[in-house]
Amino acid sequence: MSPDHMIWISLALPLLAVGLIAFFGKTPDLRDGASGTIAGLLFIVTASLSIGVFSGERPELHLGEMLPGFEIAFRVEPLGMLFALVASGLWILTTAYAVGYMRGHHELHQTRFFACFAIAIFAALAAAFSANLFTLFVAYEVMTISTYPLVTHHGTEEAKRGGRIYLGILLSTSIAFFMLAIVWTWSLAGTLDFKLGGILSDAVAEDRISQTGLGVLIGLFAFGIGKAALMPFHRWLPAAMVAPTPVSALLHAVAVVKVGVFSVMKVCVYIFGLELLRETGVSLYLAYVAGFTLVVASLVAMTKDNLKARLAYSTIGQLAYITLGAMLATPNSVIGGGMHIAMHAVGKITLFFCAGAIYVAAHKKNISDMEGLGRKMPFTFAAFLIASVSIIGLPPGGGAWSKWFLAVGTVETHQYLLTAALMVSSLLNIAYLVPIPIRAFMKPKSGSPDEPVQETGGWFANLQEAPALCVVPLCVTAIGSVALFFAAEWIYQALLPITMMPS
Amino acid sequence: MIDAIYAHLPILLIVLPLVAAPCCVLVGNGRAAYLLALVVSFLTFACSIVLLGEALDHDVIRYELGNWSPPYGIEYRVDIFSGFVMAFVSGIGAIVLVYAPLSVRDEIPASKHYLFYATYLLCMTGLLGMCVTGDLFNVFVFLEISSLSSYALISLGRTRRAPLAAFQYLILGSIGATFILIGIGLLYQMTGTLNMADIAARVPHEHGPRTVLVAFAFLTVGLCVKMAVFPLHTWLPNAYTYAPSVVTCFIAATATKVSVYAFVRIIFGIITPGFAFDVLPLDTELMLFSLVGIFIASTAAIYQDNVKRLLAYSSVAQIGYMLLGISMATPTGLSGGIVHMFNHALIKGGLFMVAGCFALRLGSVQLSDWKGAGRTMPFTALAWAIGGLALIGVPLTAGFISKWLLLTSAFETGRWPIAVLMLLSSLLAVVYVWRVVETLFFSEPSEAAANATEAPLRMLVPTYVLIGATLLFGVWTPYSAGIARQAAIALLGGTP
């Protein structure tokens, strides 16, 4: 099987899953089994595809022209490959987790839920493999639309309001800014293909666009890609938290938001070209917007008592790290940003899994109610602690490496203010994440302190964990976030080609 | 035999519905009239598809009526552009007829059914005739046939407001038609011919007498009334709102588009873009009125509680997009305008069909009565969501294709502010489409909605044919944008 075929298969598999899920809608066991099996197959396909891609192959697939000159085409490069691996790998765990969560919660409309989920994964893969901006844009919008029914899953007034903000911001930024930027790019470059070194250098050399124009253009991209959640277009992410937790976990910590920052990186690397960005410095102001976002988002996160809301603001902050890396446009910062896509994904999905597990087992949403819960749910809170360490950027969490490279990037470009912002934000990360598991373990259960502790049997008898289908995935991802610390060299080597100049 | 039919296809296209209409009256029975109309509409659809294929293969098909050679006799001309418009007008006419019977039974008294189908066929005759003829006076005649029959169709509406709306349309439509007639008369006076190609060859453009300018002005304003260009659109919202659902589906999808067709023919065939856009500032004016119209009509749509009126205002706005493309006068822009005629016909036809389904089941097109109907009529509501996304111009829908062409063309010609405004205006579409989506899916069901059942298959299937077509032509464009591009290149005269 050639790599070109594998692109085809990896795009077809999620769609096949949609069909099977709809077909087996009446028999939940078959439906969820099909969903899980396909997720497994998908990961095998992307993994085998990645072997070739990381050793230098660039498989391509041309589906055909939607309009003359605007083609739906796929070309796999390291950044997209990494993203596809993360998304498809975590899809397996999320499917298992979602089955446990949705059934544990007796949610309605599960068939629609799993079908839309698979469409979103399809869109994530299509975006990851896209060979040009046009394809990327189409995939981006498919993702927006397919996740709307997931966000509004409960059909309540609150869900309606959340969905309105979600769709409103994502759709309007993409139509008003992103699409405009794409058409503008096309009129400047005559092509929309992703090319190492960028496609705009000719237009700049021939003086068809001024420095200011270039700055506006990259601004249109950065804000138009609303899924990157750069302030002030970040409100959709907290709004999306009305969705069931598996959605928040995979989509609003991994697939959707990562499509955003991934698109930003692709635009910086393959449309503008790092060289051009460094020489002109037009993207630097966006690095400061990102710096502002990551500090403010961390501050807001501290004020949130609702666990999912806190995690949402934490995500906004962490996404800004990646945007920051892309906008600094040095090899180290870009590799740091790319790495953070993987590191943050694994860490944050763990945190969301934990939030969901706590909700399923103890029906608690607010952090202030979770004190002392660690003794009943030791696995969940241990996983929470480990993942927090990774998000904060402390060894042995994977996040340590990505944040290191980002910090190196800020120093290389002599933007010491941004270095400071990164450090402050890391401290804030500690402040809003670590106390949660610590208090869960250390503080006694709220209530009267005189009440005798009812210790019957061993500690094992006191466990009140969520169903195994919820707990096992979150333990796996927690271990994964540590394992990534030791895999950093490998990711570094894989991403190195995207920072090279075209030969 | 086959060859003989082949040779006479252009006239068959007109004769079939024209003869079938009085037959419907003679039959005098609603059911028989319906069957006749259905068969004839599919036959005309087949005719126009064959004609379009011929035009794509062999360039222009000429047909001399009664063997009188032009310019003395009337000449029918089918080229790619007219073939394309004919094909989608007759196609939508046929699909709407499939959809029609249940809705007609619900909204129109049984005694008038056969008259309804007869008038429907006449309206189709007029619209197809405007496309097929190469004679300017003939355009006027067919325009009047379609207009008069549409006044009659609109007045069949259930409420007493319908005749009033039809009367309003009659007054404004007649003023428009009179303007067109004056324009034609002046051109005839200057050139002594009514054949469009002949007029184009003889009319003195630059340094010509003022009469020609006046003729152009009358033609433009007259057609702008029929196209419902802002601010001459005032007849349209009432007409679309109070007409029977089926009539709205058909007229909204076809009538204004055919007027746009006639306008394009006159600008590119007779006035010539060089004169209209370079010597006269018609492009600037069109763009101005289009953009103002897009914003005002879209804003008005946001505040409507009557869904048919909402869609009507949206139609006024969408005409603006077509005119934007036309006034850019580049192959990309013009093909964007032309393909938007087609795409919008599919989208708006589909959405009005959805409105008709709800009207049948809920007995109302007020948004407040549609509350929560998505729970009891999920497929109808889903069709609205898909059609609405197409109206916004989301990728993988037909609306995206036209919007993309218009945008790229705006950038090509250096008019980036227009691109910005176009994109901002689509945000208004997001608002008015999503208001309905939220009402359908998230509100507590109204009493009518709670007791409603899913729309009957006989209506749902045609609706999904059009809605499905908006998805199909959103990913596969050789026969929409591809043909539109060929038509545009031919209109602009030769190679791109």
Q: Does B354 touch chain A (CB under 8 A)?
A: no
Buried b / exposed e over B202-223, threshold 16 CB at 10 Å, is ebebeeeeeebbebbbbbbbbb
Q: Between chains, do B408 and A175 touch, taking CB under 8 Å as contact? A: no
The predicted structure's pLDDT at residue A456: 52
Identify all chain B residues contacting A138, using CB atoms and an 8 Å cutoff. 395-396
Cβ pair A179:B423 closer than 8 A? yes
Residues 454-483 of B with CB under 8 A from A: 475-477, 481-482
Q: What is the CA radius of gyration of chain B?
A: 21
Confidence of residue B496 (pLDDT cuts 50, 70, 90): very low
Distance, in angstroms, between A142 CA and closest chain B CA?
7
Contact present, B329 and B286 (Cβ < 8 Å) = no
N-terminal to C-terminal alpha carbon distance within chain B: 39
Contact A186 B411 (CB under 8 A): yes
Tell me whether residues B423 and A138 touch, CB distance under 8 A.
Answer: no
Q: Best mutation site among A137, A147, A175 for testing chain B: the one with the most B CBs within 10 Å?
A: A175
CB A162 within 8 A of CB A242: yes
Residue B291 is which amino acid?
L
How far, in Å, CA of B244 to CA of B163, rounded?
A: 11
Q: From chain A, pick out residues whose CB is under 8 angstroms from the CB of B434.
A: 164, 167-168
Residues of B in contact with A67 (CB under 8 A): 401, 404-405, 477, 481
CB B469 within 8 A of CB B250: no
Residue B90: which region, alpha, beta or left (left: phi > 0; alpha: psi -120 to 50)? alpha
A398 or B470, greater pLDDT:
B470
Predicted pLDDT of residue A64: 84
Q: Supply the pLDDT for residue A262.
A: 92
Tell me the HSE value of B171 on the side-chain side, using a 13 A CA sphere: 9
Interface-testing mutation among A15, A63, A65, A66, with chain B (most B C-beta atoms within 10 A)? A66
Contact A338, A265 (CB under 8 A): yes
Contact list, B438 vs chain A (CB under 8 Å): 160, 163-164
Question: Among B152, B13, B8, B25, which residue's Cα sits nearest to residue B93?
Answer: B13
CA-wise closest residue to B454 among B366, B387, B382: B382
For the packed helices B282-302 and B307-328, what is the interaxial angle rounded to 10 degrees?
A: 160
User: Token pair for residue A392?
Assistant: 């904060």
Q: Measured between alpha carbons, how far is B181 from B374 in angstroms, rounded to an integer?
A: 48
Q: Is the pLDDT of residue B385 over 90?
A: yes
Between positions 18 and 77 of A, the ones with CB within 8 A of B are: 66-68, 70
Q: At residue B419, what is the residue type?
A: A
Q: pLDDT tens digits, residue range A283-323?
A: 889 999 999 999 999 999 999 888 889 999 999 999 999 99
Q: How many Å lie between the alpha carbon of A257 and the closest alpha carbon of chain B?
A: 19
Q: Is A281 helix (H, G, I), strand (E, B) or coil?
A: coil
CB-closest option in A156, A163, A187 to B412:
A187
Among B405, B420, B427, whose Cβ lies nearest the Cβ of A172?
B427
Instruction: Give me the mean pLDDT over the B398-422 stretch.
Output: 91
**Cβ–Cβ < 8 Å for A92, A38:** no
**C-alpha span between B124 and B82 (Å, rounded):** 15
The whole-number pLDDT of residue A1 equals: 67
Yes or no, beta carbons of B423 and A171 under 8 Å apart: no
Q: How far is A173 from chain B (nearest CA, A)?
A: 9
Whether B408 and chain A come into contact, CB under 8 Å, resolves to: yes
Q: How confident is residue B256, by pLDDT bands cut at 50, 70 and 90?
A: very high
Chain A CB contacts of B401 below 8 Å: 66-67
CA-nearest of B262, B277, B268, B320 to B413 is: B277
How many inter-chain contacts (A to B, CB under 8 Å) are there? 71
Q: In chain B, what are the domain boundaries?
A: 281-496
Inform me whether the C-beta atom of residue A152 falls under 8 Å from chain B C-beta atoms. yes
Contact B404 A183 (CB under 8 A): yes
CB-CB under 8 Å, B420 with A180: yes
Q: Among B148, B151, B182, B145, which residue's Cα sits nearest to residue B164?
A: B151
Neighbouring CB atoms inside 10 A of B436's CB total: 24
A472 at B interface, C-beta within 8 A: no
Beta bridge partners of residue A72, listed in sequence order:
A64
pLDDT of residue A252: 78
Specify whether the CB–CB gap between A83 and A262 falls below 8 A: yes
- pLDDT attached to residue B495: 44
Mean residue pLDDT across chain B: 91
Q: How far is CA A392 from CA A298, A385, A409, A433, in A?
A: 11, 10, 18, 8
Contact partners, residue B9, CB within 8 Å, separation at least 6: B47, B50, B51, B54, B61
Q: For residue A68, which residues of chain B lie inside 8 Å, CB to CB?
A: 481-482, 485
Chain B residues with CB-CB distance to A164 below 8 A: 434, 438
B17 close contact with A: CB closer than 8 A: no
Report d(CA B61, CA B79) in Å as an integer: 6
Q: How far is B309 from chain A (nearest CA, A)?
A: 23
Q: Is A187 on the interface with B (CB under 8 A)?
A: yes
The first and second tokens of residue B208, run together, are 């010509």
Q: d(Cα B269, Cα B253) in Å, to the nearest integer?
A: 24
Q: Do B423 and A155 touch (CB under 8 A)?
A: no
- Which chain A residue has the Cα nearest residue B428? A172
Residue A461 pLDDT: 60
State the pLDDT at residue A254: 82
Predicted confidence pLDDT, tens digits, chain A (503 residues): 677 888 888 899 989 988 888 888 788 888 888 888 999 999 999 998 888 888 888 888 888 888 888 889 999 988 999 999 988 888 888 888 888 888 777 777 888 888 888 899 999 999 999 999 999 999 999 999 999 998 888 888 888 888 899 999 999 999 999 999 999 999 888 889 898 888 888 888 888 888 899 999 999 999 999 998 998 899 999 888 888 888 888 777 888 899 999 999 999 999 998 888 888 888 889 999 999 999 999 999 999 888 889 999 999 999 999 999 999 988 889 999 999 998 999 899 999 888 888 888 888 888 888 888 888 888 888 899 999 999 898 888 888 899 999 999 899 888 899 999 999 999 999 999 888 888 888 876 555 455 555 555 555 566 777 777 888 888 888 898 888 888 888 888 888 888 877 65
Residue B392 sits at the chain A interface (C-beta within 8 Å)? yes
CA distance B145 to B177: 11
Buried b (16+ CB within 10 A) or exposed e, B34-63: bebbbebbbbbbbbbebbbebbbeeeebeb
User: In the 8-state DSSP scheme, what is residue A467?
Assistant: P
Count of C-beta atoms within a 10 Å radius of residue A129: 28
A395-399, B289-293, B417-421, range with the lowest pLDDT: A395-399
Please give, one letter per residue, the 3-state secondary structure of chain B: CHHHHHHCHHHHHHHHHHHHHHHHHHHCCHHHHHHHHHHHHHHHHHHHHHHHHHHHHHCCEEEEHHHCCCCCCCEEEECHHHHHHHHHHHHHHHHHHHHHHHHHHHHCCHHHHHHHHHHHHHHHHHHHHHHHECEHHHHHHHHHHHHHHHHHHHHCCCCCHHHHHHHHHHHHHHHHHHHHHHHHHHHHHHHCCCEHHHHHHHCCCCCCCHHHHHHHHHHHHHHHHHHCCCCCCCHHHHHHHHCCHHHHHHHHHHHHHHHHHHHHHHHHHHHCHHHHHHHCCHHHHHHHHHHHHHHHHHHHHHCCCEHHHHHHHHHHHHHHHHHHHHHHCCHHHHHHHHHHHHHHHHHHHHHHHHHHHHHHHHCCCEHHHHCCHHHHCHHHHHHHHHHHHHHHCCCCCHHHHHHHHHHHHHHHCCCHHHHHHHHHHHHHHHHHHHHHHHHHHHCCCCHHHHHCCCCCHHHHHHHHHHHHHHHHHHHCCHHHHHHHHHHHHHHCCCCC
H-run or E-run covering A434: none
Residue A211 burial (10 A CB sphere; 0-12, 13-18, 19+): exposed
ipTM of the complex: 0.89
List of chain A residues whose C-beta atoms are within 8 Å of the C-beta of residue B404: 67, 70, 183
Mutate to test the interface with B, among A140, A148, A174, A187 (most CBs of B within 10 A): A187
In three-state secondary structure terms, A73 is strand
Question: Is B481 close to A142, i.e. CB distance below 8 A?
Answer: no
Q: Tell me the shortest Cα–Cα distance from A135 to chain B, in angstroms.
A: 10
Say whether B408 and A164 touch across the interface (CB within 8 A): no
**How confident is residue B278, by pLDDT bands cut at 50, 70 and 90?**
confident
Contacts of B427 in chain A (CB under 8 A): 172, 175-176
Cβ contact (<8 Å) for A171 and B416? no
